[in-house]
Chain A
Amino acid sequence: MTDLGSSVGSPAGALPDPGESPVSSRGVAARRRLARQVALRNYTLLFVVAAVWVVFQALTGIFLSPRNLTLLALQSSITAMAAISAVMLIVTRNFDISVGSAVALVGVVAAVATSPTKLALDPLVGFALAMIVGIVLGAWNGLWVTRIGVPSFIVTLAGLLYFRGISMIITNGATVSPVPPAMRSFGNDSLGPGLSVAVVLLVFLAFAAFRISTIRRARDLGLLRDVRPVITRSLVPVGVAAAAAVWVAAGQGLPYLVLLLGGAAIAAEILMRRTPYGATLYAIGGNPEAARLAGIDVKKALFRNFLIAGVAYGLIGIALTSRINGAVPGSAGVGLELDAIAAAIIGGTSLAGGRGTIIGALLGAALMGSLNNGMSLMNVPTFYQDTARGVVLLVAVALDVSSRRRR
């Protein structure tokens, strides 16, 4: 049942021959135009982020220093991880507004388990417990959505309330601090510059090897004629990004949380683009009934979707607790769900489902993080920062909607 190639060959004889080549010249022109538009759309957000960076550099003089960019990446990492999870859910037309409270609860578990003032367990045991709790919370949300049929917005609205409530109950509202030095280090320190550069280069090389092999395969299957321009188009932008990352990493190394984000992003990208499961999620979001009638077990796929959100709760909860050196059940992760959804939407994720990319969510998180970071450098009060982010969200979605209408 695995070799589809030979199996589909058999009915060829009896089926009608194609009358004419399906690719008309008009079709090719339209296709090129569409490809250009799509490419432009994909890069729009990148240009916006670049423009914002240039403006802040001009205004502050230090925005584009390796030191500040490292800080920006660290500050954005938690929102970005939540945004990745948000994209995967919104693609299937589900919302998770419980993520902020869920990570607070996970953080409380991690802190209570490991803090010298509490159970003082080994940090690795704390990590494991936090991951288990995160996955259980995700499964809990998923059960209500898929078994009982309560809309995810309501299930996670309830979670927003009681996950935080439970965190407060466990600690009686008190902050649990500090966490062991190893955890604190994980949340705040960096891998050395040499190793960081090596990691960036390795990831780039692995990506390049993968892309070249898939592009060659596309040629072997007759999808492409000339591989060279495609390889160039595919590798040059990533190469530029890698060079920039090397430049930043060579300064002070890359924070562990940024490396965690990178790993999560790569895993999510592979899951969404290169696994049957990812294709299933896009199909469910595009048309749930069609997915069901194509034989997809929609409920199972959605339940797994919430399990993955649970993995994100675990990782983000640990990251947040490590970074702030303790669990603050009243305020940790407050508003994270909205930042995550905003980043996903700015990154082009469609609220109607079926569309959304991991890279878009990362850029969305980068844009919002840049606005915060840049305005902080300029000593703009936080009220103005919130206002600016709100306006950016509205404008981004408005642009997206109008560009889709024109299509």
Chain B
Amino acid sequence: MKILEIIEPLSLEIKSCNQNIESPFSGAYVSDLLSDVMAKGNDGELWITLQTHLNIVAVASVKGLSGIIVVNSRCPDQETLKRAEKEGILIAVTPLSCFEAAGRLYKIING
């Protein structure tokens, strides 16, 4: 599935690396502990979180994640977005809660 296909159902606003919307993703991991994502995140997954710190870009990059969905309309600061652009990490913001975003995505992927 491509990120492009979930922009509307998850009300995503793409904040960095818009060109990556054509990229495929395999599933998603939900966590607000970056140490946990380092341990459990898988290559090609999207990451749903409320964290906006600069370190999210490095974690996504190291783990080969397909992108980061930041929930509750929390907006990453300019430095985070700048680094994401540089590292080729797509960041999207949704007004949905973690539960709602993950639930909708689960439904789309698993029918």
Q: Are A and B co-members of a single complex? A: no
Instruction: Tell me the A residues contacting B by CB distance below 8 Å.
Output: none
Instruction: Tell me the B residues contacting A by CB distance below 8 Å.
Output: none
